[in-house]
A and B are shown apart, each in its own frame.
Chain A
Amino acid sequence: MDKLRVKIDGRTILAAPGKTILEVAEENGIHIPTLCHLDGLRDVGACRLCIVDLYGQLVTSCTTKVADGMEIGTQTETVRAYRRTILELLFAEGNHVCSFCVSNGGCELQDLACELGMHSVRVPYTYRRERVDATHPRFLIDRDRCVLCGRCVRVCQEVEGAHTWGFAERGATVRVITDLAVPWGTAESCTSCGKCVEVCPTGAIARKGASNAEMRKHPDLVAELTERRARG
């Protein structure tokens, strides 16, 4: 099929049709920050961090397919400012205290803060208090660290097929739940495969026994798995 011609940050790039802006950018060494996106999972465009400027409109690069002649800005002033504000909002709604976190040093949210130059949070914190669910024999979830990216929900549905994880409620009270909001340890559908642990970008879902900064995750396993499955 004919290649499409797109312009990203002033660079003219030939792209295969059907690919997203994010894919084309990454293939060409142009980095766009992401959080809810994960190779191997369906994209939902929820975190809004991968927004790019497309003719003055802001679109999520993970869900927007390239078209011939597109001119895209991934680092415009507006885009960078909005990304930072969105990141601040994410920090303010949870309790993200890196020095106490199992994922300190291995956390995608922390990496984003460094990358986007977020030095402080201007909006007041909510200091929400969610109970830690450590009822599962091997894993635990600390919802105060959850950024609601939905990767656990998608990997459980799309890759493991267990449908253990889901969302409950809406607005500021939305949260991830196991089965029908039962303690994780009693969720009958859970196969204890641990994929949710590997894809969780923060220290929210973690292996038991990991201490400060000891948790390292392998979200790229999902892409490997889905690629292998596709090959049969």
Chain B
Amino acid sequence: MAGRLEVLVCSGGACMSSHSLEMKEELVRQLETQLLTDEVRIVETGCMGPCQHGPLVLVYPEGVLYKNVAASDVAEIVTEHFLKGRVVERLLFRSETADQIIREHRSIPFFEKQMKIVLANCGAINPESIEEYIGAGGYEALGKAVTTMTPEGVVAEMKASGLRGRGGAGFPTGTKWDFVRREASPKKVVVCNADEGDPGAFMDRAVLEGDPHTVIEGLAIAAYAVGAQRGYVYVRAEYPLAISRLRSALDAARKLGLLGERIFDTAFSFDIEIRVGAGAFVCGEETALLASLEGRRGVPHPRPPYPSTSGMWQLPTLLNNVETYANVRHIIARGSAWFASIGTGESKGTKVFALSGNVRNTGLVEVPMGTTLGELIYDIGGGVPNGKKLKAVQTGGPSGGCIPVQHLNTPISYETLKELGAIVGSGGVIVLDEDTCMVNLARYFVEFTASESCGQCVPCRSGLVRMLDILDRITRGEGSMEDLALLEELAHTIRRSSLCGLGQTAPNPVLSTLRYFRHEYEAHIQNKTCPAAVCAALFVAPCEASCPAHVDVPAYVAHLSNGDFAKAFDVHMKTNPLPGICGRVCYAFCETKCQRAQIEESVAIRDLKRFMADYAMEHKLAGPKPVDRNGLRVAVVGSGPAGLTCGYFLAQLGYEPVLFEALPIAGGTMATGIPAYRLPRDILKADIDRIVKAGVRIELLSAVDDLEQLFAEGYAAVFVATGAMKGQTVALGETLPRGVVTGVEFLKGIHVDGGSEVGDEVVVIGGGNSAIDSARAALRLGAKRVTIAYRRARADMPASPEEIAEAIEEGVEILDMTSPVGVVGGERVEGLRCASMAAGPFDASGRRRPVPSDRPEIVLPASMVIVAVGQEATGELLRSAGIEVAKGGLVVVDPVTMRTSRPGIFAGGDATTGPATVVEAIGAGRRAAVAIDRFLGGPGAFEPEERVEVATSYDEDAYTQELDRAVPPMADVRTRIHSFAEVRGRFAKEQAMEEARRCLHCDRKQTEDGACCESSAAEAAGATTR
């Protein structure tokens, strides 16, 4: 039956679990009703690869790939596409970058960089049809081997191909075949290891389900080469579909005489049996597998003897993995030279990887060895979703290791990954984003191997349980540094003294995370914090944990939902005295970790804060009362967020802080760098006034140039928070014409020095928030056209996506991959020469480094060029006082005690970190106040410290139903670009209370016996004062 169309329906495991079979039945019905059964042929295939987007339907001859096809979509496809020839665009793939639909499945980025050898037939033929397999060149290689080649010739060909075992160890396949072939025994066995057990790896399953004959053919060729009469496939019982497809494939092969007596009319006779394993991970180890195959308890025994000399029933046994056998027919049919031309020096051919974790396109991919990790994750995998940053890649499953983001240019091969402390293994690749706790991840894998240990040898059986115990304690914040040393010692003991591969590799996840992420272990142990906000015992809630100022978000949001706005404000003031400012310009780290995002979107915490702060301002709330004065004066240099916060909390602790500010206005970068349309100056003033009222004196126009002098004047301690106020520049030429300014100068000019002339065409260089601020401010100053030139890709801009979107809305044009090389103009600037960049290799931050492209330079006309590429600290003041200053002008401080190298002088904020955020400076300011109190003999604590859980009315709907995130009113884009009036509006009262009810209250934790704990577990664990 020659059909007009061929429709391939993916019936791989993942698509079937998303109901591809029901969809197929509907397709059959629809074709019948539309009388299309003669014209359209349906083929059920194995896994096509992009499992994330299943069920998948591929339509030939066009090669159109539909994704997420439900039974309800079928009628539309049949009537529109099959009858009228109109492709159903809403079900097509979209390009990640260009927002275009992609018709032809080969141009989908997921497929473009792949090279399918092992998976060539998967998703392309009907696995239940031996005719389709033969039609695709199947059994040619077996015919060629047994009729034209000697067994020695086959082994030589395998050796020459350079194929290495795909099960994990990477032993040269041809060499192994040679060992077995050389054994004198008249009886030999070939075995296929299909006991795929690594969590997240499913390539063997996909091959068996999608192309079972390729494994049968590989086994038969192997049997011919080594002289075996019998083959076994050891497959786990959890793969019923693989077993049934393999079984029918074996039947079909026997019917055609491709298995059995006198294959291809030669003396070669061979048959295969399926053995179903009970699903023990250890049975993937070859000696355990053979024991299980014989019907004994599946435990390994020491090698030698190797299976090649004494394997199943003590016979010489060849044991390879599914993917290894799947390569064999291609090597024999197309020759070893072809195969050896693919891949790298020591690692030939392709490898199938199972992409999973925090990556857009999860699924099965096959790439040539030597493909870089970055290409695998970004070009094929589509990168990390939800705007998160890539942290590490875990390869090789429980035996593997984690590779941190700075190694994305590593070409994948057995050797390179081993050098990095990971392995290719069976090909599991788990992409980990910034929300992954590496200690918790290591704990997960050790939990797995501890429970899968066969229990025979002592180090693995008992040692892994001890390691798990230590990891458990560390993730609960109960670990000690001695534990860490013991953990490492146990890891080495188990790795080197265990009986089999399971135990020898089980410590790898711990050893590799210790190698690259030891600081995370130390954070859990020494600071009792989980940097990724995963280990629940170590924080109140993820929002609080991720807030640099550790504001008790769940508590104030709960008060807001109850309508207790003043109480909410008091909670906030305990850790952060700048609510009006943070309610507008905070980076809202809290929202990035909000668990509500798993239902729909995070709670609008910053907008809630803004509502609360405005309420407090209008009702003239003062916040908590300070303790009695103790008469000690402390000098604070700089009145930015760090200085203001430190001053406020010093006053709360009874000190008399004096802030010295060089400029005529207080607020630091908040006053000089953040435009008023984002942070109205009355709000800034209100927050600062409240701090002054709390007992902080601010001396304006008082630059400090000698720190020792302050002590002479009677100050007991000094806190230096001078920020990072110097604008960095890029090399644009020796002498610059007028009209070229830094972003720092430009923004300061507007709000402090009063107005700047910008002309008609402004070009801003940079990609951070100050570039966006400069661009939007220039628009407001009357520029007709504002362009941002950024040297990397748009997606790599460090500015917040929200700011970028608002800028674009206002008409700012962003030219990415555009790097400035020089200015045009004489007396005054006339333009900016820019080179077009191309995406180069990955840098240490996981972003692609821009490299010059072959496109010509462009000149952007410009009446003004604003260079907003970053700021830096100078460190001058401290250096002159003889205090240690690191490269880049950053003051060296202890991150916990905030002490500099000079006792009594403390430092924090941008001056120590480089340009960061307001809320990070606030956190530093508060830590400094506590540290100064301790230094001066105080307790270094605020009373009362105990956290009180805020009761709210229980509303089940709020926790289970999707509720839209509230959006505040925004100023009209047509009018707002003409003034510096605030763009973002405020929630109405009811709207704020409603939004606050969306909070899931992660702070309410269950104890092991099921009861809700009153105080947070962090306190129970003895967490340090925040």
Binding site for B on A (CB under 8 A): 44-49, 51, 58-60, 63-65, 78, 81-82, 85-86, 89-90, 92-93, 122-124, 126, 148, 150, 166-167, 169-174
Distance of A59 Cα from B490 Cα, bound (Å): 18
Q: Is B457 an interface residue (CB 8 A)?
A: yes
A93 touches B462 (CB 8 A): yes
Known: A63-B302, A172-B461. A148 touches B497 (CB 8 A): no
Taking a contact as CB atoms under 8 Å apart, the answer to whether A172 and B450 are in contact is yes
A148, B499: Cβ atoms under 8 Å?
Answer: no
Distance, CA A169 to CA B454, complexed state (A): 8
8 Å CB interface, B440-494 against A? 450-459, 461-466, 469, 486, 489-490, 493
Asked if B135 is an interface residue, CB under 8 A from chain A, the answer is: no
CA distance A58 to B464 in the complex (A): 19
Task: Pick the contact of B493: A47, A60, A82 (CB < 8 A).
Answer: A82
Q: Kindly report which residue of chain A lies nearest to residue B455, judged by CB atoms.
A: A174
Which of A48, A92, A126, A169 has its CB near the most chain B CB atoms (within 10 A)?
Answer: A48
Task: Tell which of A81, A92, A172 has the most Cβ of chain B within 10 Å.
Answer: A172
Q: Please tell me if B282 contacts chain A, counting CB pairs below 8 Å.
A: yes
Going nearest first, the 6 A-B pairs with the smallest beta carbon separation are A174-B455, A89-B462, A45-B302, A63-B302, A171-B453, A93-B462
Nearest-CB distance from A66 to chain B (Å)? 12
Please, which residue of chain B has its CB at the minimum distance from the CB of A63?
A: B302
How many residues of B are in contact with the other chain, CB < 8 A? 32
Which residues of the other chain, B, contact A169 by a CB distance below 8 angstroms?
455
* A170 and B466 in contact, given A82-B497, A86-B497 (Cβ under 8 angstroms): no
With both chains docked as a complex, state the minimum distance between the C-beta of B678 and any C-beta of chain A, in angstroms. 54
B422 to nearest A CB, angstroms?
22
Interface majority SS (helix, strand, loop, mixed), chain B: helix
Residues in A neighbouring B297, C-beta threshold 8 A: 166-167
Q: Which residue of B lies closest to A174 (CB)?
A: B455
Tell me the complex Cα distance, A44–B280, Å: 20
* CB contact between A170 and one of B304, B455, B458, B462 (< 8 Å): that residue: B455
- Given B461, B469, B493, which contacts A171 in the complex, CB threshold below 8 Å? B461
Are the C-beta atoms of A170 and B302 separated by less than 8 Å? no
| Contact present for B465 and A170 (CB under 8 Å) | no
In the assembled complex, the CB of B472 is this many whole angstroms from the nearest CB of chain A, namely 11
A71 to B465, CA, bound (A): 34
Closest partner residue, chain B, to A122 (CB atom):
B486
Are B301 and A170 within 8 A (Cβ)?
Answer: no
Judge whether B458 and A60 touch: CB under 8 Å.
no
Pick 22 A–B contacts, CB within 8 A, sort by A: A44-B301, A46-B457, A46-B499, A47-B457, A47-B458, A48-B457, A48-B459, A64-B302, A64-B304, A65-B304, A82-B496, A82-B497, A85-B490, A86-B458, A123-B466, A123-B469, A124-B469, A148-B456, A167-B455, A171-B455, A174-B454, A174-B455
Residues of chain B lying within 8 A (CB to CB) of residue A85: 459, 463, 489-490, 493
Looking across the interface, which residue of chain A has its beta carbon closest to that of B297? A167
Report if B498 contacts A (CB, 8 A): yes
Q: Given that A167-B455, A170-B282, A171-B454 are known contacts, is A93 also in contact with B496, CB under 8 Å in the complex?
A: no
Cβ contacts under 8 Å, B304 to chain A:
64-65
Let me know if A170 and B496 touch, CB within 8 A. no
Closest residue of B by beta carbon distance from A123: B466
Bound-complex Cα distance A63 to B459 (A): 17
B554 smallest CB distance to A (angstroms) = 34
Contacts of A51 in B (CB 8 A): 497
Q: Is the CB of B497 within 8 A of A170?
A: no
Q: Determine which of B451, B456, B464, B465 lies in contact with A126 in the assembled complex, contact meaning CB atoms within 8 Å.
A: B465
Given A64-B302, A172-B450, 9 additional A-B pairs, CB 8 A = A44-B456, A46-B499, A48-B459, A78-B496, A85-B489, A93-B461, A170-B454, A170-B455, A171-B455
The answer to whether A48 and B489 touch (CB under 8 A), given A90-B462, A171-B453, is: no
B301 touches A172 (CB 8 A): no
CA distance A6 to B73 in the complex (A): 75
Bound complex: CA A125 to CA B466 (Å): 9
With A92-B462, A170-B280 already in contact, the answer to whether A48 and B454 are too (CB < 8 A) is no
Residue in B297, B302, B499 whose Cβ sees the most chain A Cβ within 10 Å: B302
Chain A residues near B486: list those with CB within 8 A. 122-123
A46 touches B489 (CB 8 A): no
CA distance A143 to B477 in the complex (A): 34
Max chain B C-beta neighbours (<10 A), residue from A90, A169, A171: A171
In the complex, residue of chain B having the shortest beta-carbon distance to the beta carbon of A89: B462
Inter-chain CA distance A44–B282, complex, in Å, is 16
| Cβ–Cβ < 8 Å partners of A171 in chain B | 450-455, 461, 464-465
- CB closest chain-A residue, reference B467: A123
How far, in whole Å, are A92 and B462 apart by their CA atoms in the complex? 8
Contact B462 A45 (CB under 8 A): no
Partner of A148, one of B282, B450, B455, B466: B455
Residues of B within 8 Å of A92, CB to CB, are 462, 466
Decide yes or no: A93 and B498 within 8 Å by CB, A46-B456, A47-B457 being known contacts. Answer: no
The answer on a CB contact under 8 Å between B499 and A48 is yes
Within 8 Å by CB of A48, from B301, B490, B497, lies B497
User: Which residue of chain B has the shortest Cβ distance to A65 in the bound complex?
Assistant: B304
Complex-state Cα separation, A92 to B493, whole angstroms: 16
A82 CA / B466 CA spacing, docked (Å): 15
Q: Could you tell me the distance between the alpha carbons of A85 and B485 in the complex, rounded to whole angstroms? A: 13
Q: Is the CB of B301 within 8 A of A45?
A: yes
B262-290 at interface with A (beta carbon < 8 Å): 280, 282
A229–chain B nearest beta-carbon distance, Å = 22
Residues of A near B499 (CB, < 8 A) are 45-46, 48, 60
Among A48, A65, A122, A123, point to the contact of B458 (Cβ < 8 A).
A48
Cα A60 to Cα B302 in complex, Å, equals 8
Contacts of B489 in A (CB 8 A): 85
State in angstroms the CA–CA spacing of A47 and B302 once bound together: 12
Task: Closest A residue to B469 by CB, please name it.
Answer: A124
- A89 proximity list for chain B (CB < 8 A): 458-459, 462-463, 466
Are B493 and A86 in contact (CB-based, < 8 A)?
A: yes
B 540-556 to A, binary, CB cutoff 8 A, 1 in contact else 0: 00000000000000000
Min CB distance B500 to A, Å, is 10
Least Cβ–Cβ distance between A105 and chain B, in angstroms: 23
Residue in chain A with minimal CB distance to B453: A171
A63 to chain B, nearest CB (A): 4
Interface pair A174/B493, CB less than 8 Å apart: no
Minimum C-beta distance from A59 to chain B (A): 8
Contact B458 A90 (CB under 8 A): yes
A93 to B450, CA, bound (A): 14
Q: Is the CB of B490 within 8 A of A170?
A: no
Give Cα distance in the complex from A59 to B496, angstroms: 9
Question: Which residues of B have CB within 8 Å of A167?
Answer: 297, 299, 455
Assess the B453–A170 pair: CB atoms within 8 A: yes
The residue among A60, A170, A173 with the most chain B CB atoms within 10 A of its own CB is: A170
A139 to chain B, nearest CB (A): 24
Q: Which residue of B lies closest to A62 (CB)?
A: B302
B457 close to A45 (CB less than 8 A) = yes
Minimum C-beta distance from A184 to chain B (A): 20
Q: Report the Cα distance A49→B486, complex, angstroms.
A: 19
The answer for the CA separation of A200 and B465 in the assembled complex, in Å, is 25
- The CA-CA distance from A174 to B454 in the complex, in Å, is 8
Min distance, Cβ A100 to any Cβ of chain B, angstroms = 22
Q: Given A45-B499, A46-B456, A65-B304, verify A148-B493 contact (CB < 8 Å).
A: no
Name B470's closest neighbour in chain A (CB-CB).
Answer: A123
B contact residues around A122 at 8 Å (CB):
486
Q: Tell me whether A170 and B459 are in contact (CB under 8 A).
A: no
Whether A173 and B466, one on each chain, are in contact in the complex, defined by CB atoms closer than 8 angstroms, is no
Question: In the complex, A45→B464 CA distance in Å?
Answer: 18
Contact present for A86 and B459 (CB under 8 Å): yes
In the bound complex, what is the Cα–Cα distance between A188 and B543 (angstroms)? Answer: 63
Give bound CA distance, A54 to B458, whole Å.
20
CA distance A89 to B458 in the complex (A): 7
User: Chain B residues with Cβ under 8 A from A170's Cβ?
Assistant: 280, 282, 452-455
Chain A residues whose C-beta falls within 8 Å of the C-beta of B451 in the assembled complex: 171
A78 to B496, CA, bound (A): 10
Closest to A43 in B: B302
- Chain B residues in 8 Å Cβ range of A45: 301-302, 457, 499
